[in-house]
Structure 1
C-alpha cells in the first residue's frame, strides 16, 4: 500500500471545486480511500503541499506512430495506398519505446488516444493507452477505441495527386457512405440465424462491426463548418456514435453543436494557419463550446504540438477567457468520458486506477513542473 499525504488535491469529480488537503490511499494500483488517513502498513509519500491531479489525457494524437527524429523509419501513421482502410490497427504500429512517451510522462500526460492520421477517408482504429510500458499489449485501456475517418483537405489532396478518388469533398462523403452501407449489410446478415444466409468472412467488414454495435465511435477529423456538418449527417444516417476531432470552426456553429451534443476534441490551436481550412483557428473555440454546455477535450495532435505541452494548449485557452477549472476538465474527466474510459481514469476517486501527477504549482502555469507521475500506483517519472 502507498499513502500520499499533505497534497492539495483536485479530484475532478465535481462540477467545480477548490483544492482540498486530503490523503490518498493506494492498494494494488487502485485508489482505495480518500480523506484523513493513517496507516502503519503503507509506504508514505509526503507531497509537502504540492498539487495532486489525475493524469492528463490527450484524446487525439499520434504518439508512437510518428516517432521522434528518425524520419521515414518512424513514420507509421498513414497507409496511403487506398482511401478506405478500416482493417488497420494503431496497436500494430505504435512503438512504446519512442522517447516521446517519456516526454508525455514529464508533462503529466498519462493516457492518450492515438491512431492513424487523416490521409485516408477511413484510416483504421485508434487505441486508448497509458503512456508507460515497454509492450503495447500491457498499456491498453481500450482497443479498438474509435474508427478514424477524415473530411476536408487531407484525403482529397492525397488521392487527387494519385488520380484516385476522392479528389472532392463529394467523393470523400461518397467513399465513406459506400463502405458504411457495405458494412451495415455485412453486420446485419452476420446476425442471421440461418448459417447459409451469413456472409463470407471479410477482413475489412469485420473491423467495422464494433462501429455498428456502437461499442466505438467514428472519430471524425473535421475543421471546416461544412465538413463538421457532413460528419454529423453521415453518422446520423447510419445511427452511429461520433466524436468531432479538431472542430476548428466549431465556434462558428455553436448553436447547432449544442443541439447535437457530440463530444468535441478541440485543437491543435498552436501553430500557423497552414491551409485554408485553418483560417479561423483560435484558442477561443474551446472556451465558446464549453460555455455553450458542450463537452470539450483539448488535444495536442502530437507531433503537431509536442505531447508534453498539452497543459500549455489549455493554458492559452484560459488566457483568452476559458474558465480555469473547465480547462482542467478538458484535460482530465472530459476526455475520459468522451473516450469511454472514465470508469478507470480521469478523476481521483475510490476504485479508479491510481494514475496521478504531483505538480509544483498550478499545472496551467508555464513556470510550474511535474514533480512525479504515477501510473497504477507506481511512480514512473520523477523530475531530474
Structure 2
C-alpha cells in the first residue's frame, strides 16, 4: 500500500480536481481525497500519531500536481530501436496489405524510448506498424514500463491503415507495384475489405453446413474490423484523403474508425462532428516535408475541439521523441486549445479513443495506478515530472533516479 500525500490531484473523473491524497493498493487506485477519508473508506485504522497503515509507503508531494499517467494514442515506441531507427520493425514491406501481422510481435520492452517516456510521465502508448502499407496490421496499447511485452499489453486497439503519400511512395516508387496513386491506395483498401466480407460469408456458410474451412490469418484479423471488434485507424493528412476514408467506411458499414494525424482536419471539422469520428492529431512540430503537410499547424486541435470533435494529441514517436508528448500539448495550448482541455487530450480522450478507459486515463477507483507527479502544470515547457508510478510501482523519482548529463552522455 502507498499514499501520495498533499497533491493537487487531477482525477479526470466527476470528482474533478481535489487537494488531497491518493491511496494505491495492489497496483490500483484505491481512493482519492482527504487522507482521513481515504483511510476510513479503505477500512483502515490509525492511532493519534500514525496517519496511514503501518505498511504504507508515504510520499508527500507538497502541493505538486498529480495526474493520471499520460497516454500517446499514436506511437511507434518500442518498434524502432532508440538511436537505430533503421532497425525498426514497423513496415512489413513485402506487400501493400499485411493485416496478418501484429505490432506486439515486434515490440521491444527495453527500447530506451520507453524509458524516457515513463520518466517523463508517458505511461501508456498505442504502438503500431508504420504507414508504408495500405493495411499495416494490428495495433496494440501497452504500458511503457515492464520487462515482457505480454505483461505490458493493455489490449489490441485497432487495425492500421494508411492513405496518401506514404503507401504511394513505398510501393509505387520503391517497388513499382500498386498502389502508385491515391486511387490505387483507395482501391487496394476496398479490395481487401471486399475479400474480408467474402471470407466472413464463406466461413459462416461452412459453419452452417458443418463443413471444414481453411482459415487465413489476415482475413481473420481484417474481419474483426467489419464485425466491430477492431477499430480501423487510418493515417490521413489531407482533407481529400480524410473524405476518402469517410466514403470507404460508409460503403462497408464500419462504425469504429479514427483519423490519425488529421493534418487538414481543421478544414473539414464539421464532417468529423457529423460522423462522430475522433481525431488523433500530430505530430505538428514539423516543416512541410511533403505536399500533404502544407497546412500543418498547432491550431488544428483548437479548431477541432471547438467544433466538438474528440481529439487526442500524438508524437508519432520516434518522429518526435516520445518523452515530449507534454510539449506537443503545450504548443497546442499556446495556439488556443483551452488549458482546461489539455489534460483530456492525453488521458481521458486518448483512453476512450483506444478503448482502454477501464484501465487508464483517470484516477478512478479500481483503475491502474499509473500516476505522474509534476512540479507545475504538466503542459508548460518548464514543468518536469517529480515522481512516476506504473501499476502502483514507483518507477521514477527525480531526486533519486536523475543522472548528471555529463555522466549520462559521456563517451
With the shorter chain as reference, the TM-score category is over 0.9
Q: Tell me the CA shift for residue 250 of structure 1.
A: 0.6
**One of 242, 245, 249 as aligned partner of 1:231:** 245
Task: Confirm or deny that 1:153 pairs with 2:165.
Answer: yes
Equivalence map 1:125-164=2 (5 Å): 125-143=138-156, 145-161=157-173, 162-164=175-177
Identify unmatched segments of 5+ residues in structure 1: none
CA RMSD of aligned residues (A): 1.4
User: Equivalent residue of 1:253, what SS?
Assistant: helix
8 Å contact 2:71–2:122 — kept in the other structure?
A: yes
Bigger radius of gyration, 1 or 2? 2
Deviations 1:298-350 (A, max 9, x none): 00000111001000001001101110121211011000000000011101111
- 2 CA distance for matches of 1:245 and 1:271? 16
Q: Tell me the CA shift for residue 40 of structure 1.
A: 2.3
Deviations 1:277-314 (A, max 9, x none): 00000000011000111100000000111001000001
Equivalence map 1:169-318=2 (5 Å): 169-192=182-205, 193-196=207-210, 199-240=213-254, 241-318=256-333
Q: Tell me the CA shift for residue 187 of structure 1.
A: 1.8
8 Å contact 1:190–1:198 — kept in the other structure?
A: no
Equivalence map 1:1-384=2 (5 Å): 1-14=1-14, 17=16, 19-38=17-36, 39-41=52-54, 42-72=56-86, 74-143=87-156, 145-161=157-173, 162-192=175-205, 193-196=207-210, 199-240=213-254, 241-383=256-398, 384=402
Q: Tell me the CA shift for residue 195 of structure 1.
A: 4.2
Deviations 1:99-126 (A, max 9, x none): 1111101221000000111000001011
Q: Tell me the CA shift for residue 191 of structure 1.
A: 3.0
8 Å contact 1:223–1:278 — kept in the other structure?
A: yes
Identify unmatched segments of 5+ residues in structure 2: 37-51, 403-411
- 1 CA distance for matches of 2:262 and 2:92? 24
Pairs aligned (count): 380
Deviations 1:113-153 (A, max 9, x none): 0011100000101110000011101101002x110000001
Q: TM-score, normalised by structure 1?
A: 0.96
User: Equivalent residue of 1:330, what SS?
Assistant: helix
Deviations 1:61-103 (A, max 9, x none): 100111111253x211111111010001101111111111111
- 1 CA distance for matches of 2:120 and 2:212? 49
